[in-house]
Amino acid sequence: MGRPRRLVAGVAVVCLSVLLGIVVAVSLFLTSSRTVVLVGQDTVVRPTMTGDAVVQTGPLLPDFRLRDVGSVGVTLTLGKTEVGSVEELVERYGFIATDPTAQVGKVEDVVVDMALSAGLRGLGVGLVPIAFYLLLGRHRRGQLFRGLRTRQGILALALLLVLPVLIWQPWESSEETQEEQGTWQSLADFVGSEVTLPEETRDIEVRTGPVTTQTKRLVLSAIDTYDKSKAFYTAAAEGAADLELREPEDDETVALLVSDRHDNIGMDRVARAIGEAAGATVVLDAGDDTSTGQPWEAFSLDSLAGTFEDWDRFGVAGNHDHGTFVSTYLADAGWTMLDGEVVDAPWGGTLLGVDDPRSSGLGNWRDESGLSFTEVGTRLADAACDAEERISTVLVHDANLGREALARGCVDLVVGGHTHVHSGPDVVEGENGATGYTWTNGTTGGAAYAIAVGSKPRREAEVSLVTYADGRPTGLQLVRLNTDGSWVVGEWTPITPAP
């Protein structure tokens, strides 16, 4: 009889451990939260079991809800950001909504990570009864179970059962809030029948309360930005696939050069479509992906990383990316961020690059901090000329940073951006007689100064295509998207760097 009794006791302990682990894991998961940067704002992410996605925007805008997004829902509470006005913030919302893939993926990753963390903690708590059972031993377990039949044992068991309730305190309640007084209604009902909504927005619900005319105007502004942005960039991406671009030979590699995106995530899928049409498999990022280099611009980097996640990716930071945030963020996302060291390139040659040493604001002024622009250019030239193999490409934000390396005749091609105006290819004969070239891409984001967010580019948006064969650059081609949606495709220009 002793063995069956021990077996039953063991099974009971295991069942108790599993139940305890599940309860703890679910409780921890549903009460957990993480703070990430979404849509340019510090955002608290909380999982729910409603299956709905709720965005709590704050006091100036109504909350939004999307029903039945999955078995697990989420509440997103938007917090601090950097913005000049509420109107600018609303325009940003509408613009990011045109391509939310990166932001949705970020939320999904965070929720999965919270679930795994809660599961591991639940497992740890669930193992406690088993460990306690084994540590007691058969003799002490017998003493313990016999003690439960006594008055003191019953009292101890009762206290043990009451303890979770005391910690939980289900009788606690908060005052009714303004948020709870609001009711949900469809976006169509909120804006009125006189407004025609995009089809994909009609499942969105709005929490209504005392709505002012100003609040409704802001929502309508976001819808307008969304509608115009989505239409423009969708048409551009579709049109890019039909462009007549030079196609690479079997022994050639094509790299897509982007620069000065300045947070324009709408152009990312357009740039990808151009690259695919040209057979590109590598992306070179010449910097200024942001306007200030601050964490609130993570949405731009998320979009860039997601768009080219299956390509070979190399980049440098521009003067508007000044600081460590942009370079660190992209490096964590799998990009090779060049730091003055020679690296092997996917086309078989070598690649060299370095971040821009300057810091810029939203205007056209510049600061130099630490090493000067000239000093960094000299060190870059030293690294190029000291390399065992001739450098096929120098990637910098401003092509002038590679001027000294070209003058010494140590590189085949210097590519950059910064000026927002295309130039090149310009041939440079080095002091050793070796020929090299310089090429400047315009602004991929179509940015005016450092601002590119809007329903369409603020000026012509450009990317460049660099062709490589036998490890060296052999040709360049410019592709430009005008603000009216028309295209300019430059002729493929062959280059012949020094043997």
pLDDT tens-digit series, residues 51-109? 888 888 776 677 888 887 788 888 888 877 766 666 666 666 666 776 777 888 888 88
Q: CA dihedral in degrees (154, 160, 162, 166; nearest 10)?
A: 150
What length does the chain have?
Answer: 499
Distance separating alpha carbons of residues 233 and 235, to the nearest angstrom: 5
pLDDT reported for residue 229? 79
Q: Which two tokens stand for residue 462?
A: 């450009």
Distance separating alpha carbons of residues 495 and 474, to the nearest angstrom: 5
pLDDT reported for residue 364? 38
225-228, Cβ contacts within 8 angstroms, sequence gap of 24 or more = 225/90, 225/91, 225/93, 225/94, 225/95, 225/454, 225/455, 226/94, 226/95, 226/97, 226/98, 226/198, 226/201, 227/198, 228/455, 228/456
pLDDT reported for residue 363? 38
Select from 360, 291, 304 the least CA-distant residue to 83. 291
What sign for the dihedral angle of Cα 292, 293, 299, 300?
Answer: positive
pLDDT reported for residue 165? 64
Condensed to tens digits (0 to 9), the pLDDT of residues 453-471 reads 656 678 899 999 999 999 9
pLDDT reported for residue 195? 66
Tell me the chain's radius of gyration from C-alpha atoms. Answer: 30
DSSP per residue over 29-42, as a string? HHH--EEEEETTEE
Token pair 């306690």: residue: 132
pLDDT reported for residue 204? 78
Pairing of β 73-78 and β 41-48? antiparallel
Distance separating alpha carbons of residues 350 and 391, to the nearest angstrom: 5
Identity of the residue numbered 284? L
Which residues of the chain fall below pLDDT 50?
1, 361-368
Q: CA dihedral in degrees (425, 431, 432, 434; nearest 10)?
A: 10
